[in-house]
Chains A and B, each alone.
Chain A
């Protein structure tokens, strides 16, 4: 299969750096609008839940952070796999840029879930609950990936070794997603992705989806910013970067 002629540009650091510079403000602006709109709607406009009352409003941040934690891992693992197989350095840069964002969102999902669990389940944490355990494992995978990279002075070696861990760990993502179907768990089953119809009223669903969109644009905004920093570090001393810094276009 032949790749489209424009595809090779995505392996070029100057092109990707320029693309990130152009896209980041748009993603940042969209994030601000979406999170403000979704946050105000979810906190102040959406009606309280008939069963959980007001505490259900954590639904406008907790599932979103959990979804970003898994998506970030997918991005990291796929990029690391591409970098490992085709030896594309920029793919490794994408992987290492996604890792700290994913780790922070996994931490956030665990903490907000624990806070939600106290008034609804009667406990902050339940050892043995499959979804909680595999989400915690996801955090350890992120931390392991970052620690493994830090253990090597040679960046190329760090790229290759950490890519193996990232790719192997991807098996955890579908387990987290389907854990509520495969095992008995305190965690509720799918709400939005049910094939028949979402088990949520439209007045609650709209701000929920706005927040999903807001967190998604936030992730890609941060990914591009971190990728720029990673490119500058990796391209240190190159002519294009020197001229970019000299011209003050950065």
Chain B
């Protein structure tokens, strides 16, 4: 790189880091939200359901 390798490679490295961060952040947020949606959509465990005698 004609003595300018540090400039070129650091610029490419930072850009690659930004690209990877974007992919990771979008992916992890989607996964987290889907996991929350799945958890809240599950029926209540039977033991925690109110029974007639408790009402």
Contacts and interface: CB of A to CB of B under 8 A. Distances in A.
B7 A115 contact: yes
A25 to B, nearest CB: 13
Given A53-B2, A112-B14, A250-B34, A119 B26 contact: no
A13 to B, nearest CB: 12
Contacts of B12: 39, 43, 58, 61
Interface string A211-250: 0000000100010011011001100110001100110001
A193 to B, nearest CB: 22
B8 interface: yes
B22 to A, nearest CB: 5
The A interface is mostly helix, strand or loop, or mixed, namely: helix
A225 B29 CA distance: 9
B55 interface: no
A180 interface: no
Taking residues whose C-beta sits less than 8 angstroms from the other chain, chain B's interface range is 20 to 34
Contacts of B15: 61, 65, 108, 112
B2 A116 contact: no
Contacts of A58: 7-8, 11-12
Contacts of A92: none
A233 B37 CA distance: 8
Contacts of B5: 54
Interface in B1-45: 1-2, 4-5, 7-8, 10-12, 14-15, 18-19, 21-23, 25-27, 29-30, 32-34, 36-38, 40-41
Contacts of A100: 25
Contacts of B30: 225-226, 228-229, 232
B17 to A, nearest CB: 9
Given A55-B8, A108-B15, A118-B7, A241 B26 contact: no
Interface string A50-63: 00011101100110
Contact of B33 (A118, A222, A233, A237): A233
Given A116-B11, A222-B23, 12 more contacts: A35-B19, A55-B1, A55-B2, A57-B8, A108-B15, A112-B11, A119-B7, A218-B19, A222-B22, A225-B26, A242-B37, A250-B34
12 contacts: A54-B1, A54-B8, A108-B14, A111-B11, A111-B14, A115-B7, A225-B27, A229-B26, A232-B30, A232-B34, A242-B37, A245-B34
